[in-house]
């Protein structure tokens, strides 16, 4: 589409206003671009590029970093109180024990967060798929029996504690999923001031019946 179709001529602005608006749009068009993502594997959505795109991304990263530091400090303070309290009452022995962290400690940290629903449905397949697939579905895949294999060892004992089956049995039953971040292995780690590494790579596995 011609750029002229995006420019509405207004009698009060005249030719000079039209030319100024056109110049600004052309500058933005040439300098706010979208290019391959920063992920080496190219599995993420396209990322801002060009002079304006990179400047905007840098500004957003700075803003996020400042907000993250403030929340991380508050979370650390709360966790230092919550964990000893939980350990004193028996520790983390079952999945439901982790809900104690939100009882009067973390539940008001982000008042509008969906903690009640997550805590109530945390062992459901629906919640698992919603959280996993909404976040980054491109990194998740189901391992296929006969052509795929488990990428890293998990003891039969640990696997049975989680799913009652070994990883080999899960794979054979078409119930083993893998989310991998190995495509990020070549990235330079980015650190927010006061926090740890912001980019990680590796993989995780879990069982969910379809």
User: What is the tens place of the pLDDT at every residue in 82-115?
Assistant: 888 878 888 888 878 878 777 767 766 766 666 6
For the chain, the domains span 138-210
Per-residue pLDDT tens over the stretch 150-203: 888 899 999 998 889 999 999 999 989 888 777 667 766 655 554 443 433 333
Give SS3 for 95. helix
Task: Give the integer Cα–Cα distance in Å for 169 and 158.
Answer: 13
Task: Give the integer Cα–Cα distance in Å for 13 and 167.
Answer: 69
Residue with tokens 């391959």: 36
């Amino acid at each position: 589409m011609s750029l002229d179709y995006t420019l509405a001529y207004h009698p009060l602005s005249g030719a000079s206003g039209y030319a100024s608006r056109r110049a600004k749009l052309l500058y933005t068009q040439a300098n706010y671009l979208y290019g391959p993502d920063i992920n080496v594997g190219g599995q993420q959505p396209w990322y801002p590029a060009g002079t304006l795109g990179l400047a905007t991304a840098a500004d957003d990263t700075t803003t996020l970093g400042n907000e993250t530091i403030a929340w991380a400090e508050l979370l650390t303070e709360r966790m230092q109180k919550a964990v000893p309290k939980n350990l004193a009452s028996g520790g983390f022995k079952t999945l439901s024990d982790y809900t104690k962290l939100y009882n009067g400690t973390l539940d008001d940290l982000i008042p509008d967060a969906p903690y009640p629903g997550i805590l109530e449905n945390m062992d459901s397949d629906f919640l698992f798929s919603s959280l996993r697939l909404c976040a980054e579905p491109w990194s998740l895949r189901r391992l296929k029996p006969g052509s795929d294999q488990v990428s890293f060892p998990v003891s039969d004992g640990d696997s049975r504690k989680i799913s009652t089956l070994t990883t080999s049995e899960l794979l054979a039953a078409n119930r083993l999923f893998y989310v991998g971040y190995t495509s990020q292995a070549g990235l330079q780690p980015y650190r927010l001031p006061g926090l740890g590494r912001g980019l990680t790579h590796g993989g995780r596995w879990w069982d969910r019946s379809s």
